[in-house]
Amino acid sequence: MDWIAVGAIAELVGVVAVVITLIYLADQVRNNTRMAQRASTVEAVAAIRTFSVSLVDNRKVGELFQRGVNLGLENLTD
């Protein structure tokens, strides 16, 4: 085997390694995106839960919220 053949094989191995690396990185980015979306959903649900609990726990806040929904925000002067 001469040096040209060795160089060609080494170049082919390098190309295969780059392709495998790119596939791996694409998979990691996809997984990271899914995890970020799930974390965002969990945070949104927690915020909605906190808001809902405040409406239930405090009668005045619940009544104020209901007035705002029924009459519109511009009619809330208190």
Q: Structural domain boundaries of the chain?
A: 3-75
What whole-number distance in Å separates Cα of residue 22 and Cα of residue 67?
56
pLDDT in tens, 4-56: 999 999 999 999 999 999 999 999 999 999 999 999 999 999 999 999 998 88
Instruction: Please name the residues in contact with 16: beta carbons below 8 A apart, sequence gap of 6 or more.
Output: none
Please tell me the predicted confidence (pLDDT) of residue 78.
60
* Alpha carbons 14 and 17: distance in angstroms, whole number: 5
- pLDDT, greater one: 70 or 27: 27
Tell me what pLDDT residue 10 has: 96
Please indicate, yes or no, whether the overall pTM of this predicted structure exceeds 0.75: no
Give the pLDDT score at 37: 98
